[in-house]
Amino acid sequence: MKCNLALWDRTLRFIVAVMLLTYVIAGGPFWGWGGLYFLLTAAWGLCPVYAFFRFKTIRTPQSPFNNLRKP
């Protein structure tokens, strides 16, 4: 599978996941367990929601051969 999350996106997801899960462990509401989703997508590098909408935050490497026309 291809990665669709940039490093900054993965880092942000990890930070949000840690904060949400810490809040839940400290006695927060049930919806805080959604932090597991952020933690898994940050570790995996693939977000299923982004994949469904064909959205990427990662840049694809540019090759000088990408601009050549095919006959």
First-to-final CA distance of the chain:
30
Torsion angle of the four alpha carbons 47, 3, 39, 49, in this order, in degrees rounded to the nearest 10: 0
What pLDDT does residue 20 have? 95
Phi, psi of 19 (to 5 degrees): -65, -45
Q: Residue 47 corresponds to which tokens in the numbers above?
A: 């977000």
Q: What percent of the chain has pLDDT over 90?
A: 69
Q: What is the pLDDT of residues 27-38, one digit of tens each?
A: 999 999 999 999
Res 71 pLDDT > 80: no
Q: What is the pLDDT confidence band of residue 63, given thresholds at 50, 70 and 90?
A: low
Question: Rounded mean pLDDT of the chain?
Answer: 87
Give Cβ neighbours of residue 69 (< 8 Å, ≥ 6 apart). none
